[in-house]
Amino acid sequence: MKTQRIPIETQSARMGTLARLPVFLALEDKRTVVVGGNAAAAWKAELLAASGSRVEVYAEELSDEMLQIASDPPRGEIVLFGRAWKADDLDDASVAVGTFEDDADAAAFATVARATGVPVNVIDKPAFCDFSFGAIVNRSPLVIGISTDGAAPVFAQAIRAKLEALLPKGFANWAAAAARWRNVVKASGLSFSGRRKFWQLFTAQAIGNPDNEPSKRDYERLAAQASALGSAVESGSVTLVGAGPGDPELLTLRAVRALQSADVILFDDLVSRDVLDFARREARKLLVGKTGFGPSCKQDDINALVVSLAKQGKRVVRLKGGDPLIFGRAGEEIAACREANIAVEVVPGITAAQGAAASLGLPLTDREHARRLQYVTGHARDGRLPADLDWRSLADPSATTAIYMPTRTLADLAQRAIAAGLDPQTPAVAIARATRSDQVILSAPIAQLAERLTAESLPGPVLVMLGSVFSSLNFTSMTQHIRSAIASI
């Protein structure tokens, strides 16, 4: 008998420790100081000038790189002084950067800067630095800084290269448009919710068309769309989001956007907690757990809670493991929202069978062996094996079958399918926590799998799949794999 429980609010994860605090300095029209004339100092002078500061460089010898950058600075002026630095050169500076081979010289520079109240950076000498530059992805005014606290600059550069490839250069134009339009939107007469909707539409447009140059026509169209919603924009909404089988990297971009704009997130026990890391920190997170044969919230109570929160004007995300439309009882929640005239949409996710097959590197269909894929549930409302399963279909040797929630009923299901003609030697596989770091796999002929599943006591959630496409799995090695995997959990 199931134990009823009420929704449990989960606190957002506390901020972890930071080796460095990422801070973006406003240096336009401010004075900054660079001591040293080599190529490394030239690069720092260029960065400071790019931020709009007036850069004063003090060095007895100036490299060709420094001379070239000073002759054509990216933004702010670079002024060269062909002499050694003095203590009063740092007066009223916003930041000071120096390059020194000798630690004693570096320490003297850092000591004077700190005594003057100027944040200091000594290039390649972290012990004398109050701040670091890190690697930069420049889509200004969208700027991303990456720091490894000086431990692995090459690693930071590799991450920067990855982000450079992911972020279209056109994002710079959209970020600039956001800066131009922000005050215009505030003065547009749109309500707070209307302005929030404008920026949601703006973001979708920018992500969908990053290389388009944003124009006045784009602003007018987005503002008209937000305005056309009228009082509807003040109403709450519900989004059913598929969290995928567990690996948070399998979330869709649309799912991430929904999580980052939610006011309240209602999630199940089967949702990996790593997925919640993508949610907006300010969002309330309520566990409305539904686990087979364990403590569960009643579905009617969940429906009522979803509707109640949306009627309060909240943006509600109902987060479900896998895909919400596959054995996720999404139909009942959609019906409840529609009956209450609440706007509802669905963001599909990767279902467990797809994730499990991908982790095995095996197809679910094959031109020679499996021309049909079928999803079935292992238990009905009463927790027992459904009485209306199509046993002839389950016995079809040309089909691949994925059985959801099978743990308690697999033995009965296998027995009845074999009686209907299923070959008892049909390859089958049970996967627990598919796609997660602690994924566990057990493979055996379908006639033996239930017994092995009981003996191994796999951690949930568990999915069973059977069909000739799994014939390449080695039963012995899989059994050994599961034992070692369980030992490491």
Give the residue numbers annotated as catalytic, written as ranges: 268, 290
At residue 43, φ and ψ (nearest 5 deg) are -65, -40
* Residue 38: C-alpha distances to residues 59, 65, 86, 411 (Å): 9, 7, 18, 75
DSSP string of 137-172?
EEETTEEEEE--TTS-HHHHHHHHHHHHHHS-TTHH
Question: What residues form DSSP beta bridges with 285?
Answer: 10, 265
Q: Which residue has the tokens 């079958």?
A: 401
Residue 252 gets the label, from left (phi > 0), alpha (psi -120 to 50) or beta, of beta
At residue 177, what is the residue type? A
Measured distance CA(462)–CA(404) in Å, rounded: 7
Measured distance CA(207)–CA(213) in Å, rounded: 12
Measured distance CA(257)–CA(34) in Å, rounded: 42
**Structure tokens of 451?**
């017994």
DSSP string of 302-351?
HHHHHHHHHHTT-EEEEEESB-TTSSS-HHHHHHHHHHTT-EEEEE----
Number of Cβ within 10 Å of residue 295's Cβ equals 13
* Residue 221: C-alpha distances to residues 188, 204, 206, 228, 254 (Å): 13, 13, 14, 10, 22
